[in-house]
């Protein structure tokens, strides 16, 4: 029997591509270009499994047009709001993701953003690179202390809990959170975390607000102008979740008017486009979606996809099935 054909929409770590090449008829993306809609449609029509990433929009129109031969979407990432899951289900496609393996690295990056924006690390690094540093001065690039402050988390899943652990045990921070479902008492006790009954309650009380909710219609512009107005003027917003969770223009307006102190962003509403207005602001740190970008995590993500492929094509239930 011929081996199942697997199409990758982007380059993956070499170690993972090697494993896939050994087990499957692999079609890799040699030059790592983002797939067009035509390329996605062709891949769906000619492969047994398509392995997309967050940059690939797999919507109902694409699936209707493609008449998929593919039977599995092995998503490279934990978030899957770029996939119309209901349309995929109607087209007979199983959808999997890669939960768990990127928790620590994304939590590390959220804390890094918090530290960078509070301590003005980006501005300081640009000053040195631009040869604009004239030496130490008592009032130069004064920032905000992180230790001992209050961290508010919107969403309290794996990544948020990992951020809370770093903040509480590492920086002695008080931890507040809002989560739509109940959290085990043992989890909150270990982190000395306090549940709030609304997002507004978190925003009003926190010095740093970190977002950890999925993207999609239910959370589109969850943080809008009205909710940004609930934050104290000294507070910072951190987003490592999905760009469309925040009303980007409302955030730009709040930052420009100094209605909040600053923001640390790893995700954007229209990636890879970042609004020019954001780039001009000195109270925001901007990263290019690096949350899981370590050798260890990206390899683990790829191997998690491999495990789902192996199970599916062996006739077993994929361990990370979401649809």
pLDDT tens by residue, 195-245 = 999 999 999 999 999 999 999 999 999 999 999 999 999 999 999 999 999
What is the rounded distance in angstroms from the CA atom of residue 118 to the CA atom of residue 261? 9
Give the C-alpha separation, 239 to 126, whole Å: 22
Give the integer Cα–Cα distance in Å for 212 and 83: 19
Distance CA 128, CA 145 (A): 22
68: left (phi over 0), alpha (psi -120 to 50) or beta: beta
Q: What is the pLDDT of residue 218?
A: 95
Residue 136: CB atoms within 10 Å: 6
- The residues of the chain that CATH labels 3.40.50.720 are 5-101+295-313, 103-286
Active site residue 42: no
Per DSSP, 190 falls in state H
Per the annotation, the verdict on 200 as an active-site residue is no
Q: Which pLDDT tens digit goes with each residue over 257-292?
A: 999 999 999 999 999 999 999 999 999 999 999 999
* Residue 174: its H or E element: strand 174-178
Residue pair 237/223 in contact (Cβ under 8 Å)? The answer is: yes
Task: Check 271, 295, 296, 321 and give the catalytic one.
Answer: 271
Residues with Cβ within 8 Å of residue 128, at least 6 apart in sequence = none
For the whole model, what pTM was predicted?
Answer: 0.96
Asked if the 5-101+295-313 domain carries CATH number 3.40.50.150, the reply is no
Distance CA 161, CA 158 (A): 5
Query: Of residues 289, 296, 304, 316, which has the active-site annotation?
Result: 289
What's residue 111's pLDDT? Answer: 98
* 3 state DSSP class of 95: strand
Share of the chain above pLDDT 90, in %: 99
Estimate to the nearest angstrom the gap between the alpha carbon of 34 and the chain centroid. Answer: 18
pLDDT band per the 50, 70, 90 thresholds, residue 46: very high
pLDDT of residue 138: 98
Q: Each residue of 109-128: pLDDT tens digit?
A: 999 999 999 999 999 999 99
What average pLDDT does range 64-85 have in this prediction?
95
CA gap 209, 215 in Å, rounded: 17
For residue 305, give the H/E element and its range: helix 295-313
Residue 151 above 80 pLDDT? yes
Return the CATH fold of 103-286: Rossmann fold (3.40.50)
Mean of the pLDDT values across residues 160-174?
Answer: 98
Q: Which tokens is 117 given?
A: 């924006």
- CA-to-CA dists, residue 254 to 63, 223, 251, 271, angstroms: 39, 12, 5, 21
Average pLDDT over residues 90-97: 97
Catalytic residue among 242, 259, 298, 304: 242
Known catalytic residue at 289? yes
Q: What is the pLDDT of residue 1?
A: 63
């Amino acid at each position: 029997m011929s081996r199942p054909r697997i199409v990758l929409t982007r380059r993956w770590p070499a170690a993972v591509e090697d494993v896939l090449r050994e087990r499957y008829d692999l079609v890799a993306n040699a030059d790592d270009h983002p797939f067009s809609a035509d390329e996605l449609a062709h891949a769906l029509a000619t492969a047994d499994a398509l392995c997309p990433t967050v940059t690939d929009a797999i919507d109902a129109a694409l699936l209707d047009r493609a008449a998929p031969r593919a039977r599995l979407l092995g998503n490279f990432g934990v978030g899957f709001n770029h996939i119309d899951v209901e349309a995929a289900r109607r087209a007979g496609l199983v959808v999997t993701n890669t939960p768990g393996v990127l928790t620590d690295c994304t939590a590390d990056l959220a804390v890094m953003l918090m530290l960078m924006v509070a301590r003005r690390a980006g501005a300081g690094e640009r000053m040195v690179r631009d040869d604009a540093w004239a030496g130490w001065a008592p009032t130069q690039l004064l920032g905000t202390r992180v230790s001992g402050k209050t961290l508010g988390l919107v969403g309290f899943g794996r990544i948020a809990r990992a951020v809370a652990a770093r903040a509480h045990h590492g920086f002695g921070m008080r931890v507040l959170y809002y989560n739509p479902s109940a959290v085990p008492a043992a989890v909150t006790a270990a982190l000395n975390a306090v549940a709030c009954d609304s997002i507004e309650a978190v925003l009003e009380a926190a010095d740093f607000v970190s977002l950890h909710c999925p993207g999609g219609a239910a959370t589109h512009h969850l943080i809008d102008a009205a909710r940004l107005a609930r934050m104290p003027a000294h507070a910072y917003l951190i987003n490592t979740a999905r760009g469309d969770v925040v009303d980007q223009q409302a955030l730009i307006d709040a930052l420009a008017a100094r209605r909040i102190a600053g923001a640390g962003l790893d995700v954007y509403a229209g990636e890879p486009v970042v609004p020019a207005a954001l780039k001009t602001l000195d109270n925001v740190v901007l990263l290019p979606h690096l949350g899981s970008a370590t050798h260890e995590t990206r390899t683990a993500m790829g191997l998690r996809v491999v495990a789902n492929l192996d199970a599916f094509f062996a006739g077993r239930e994929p361990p990370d099935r979401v649809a």
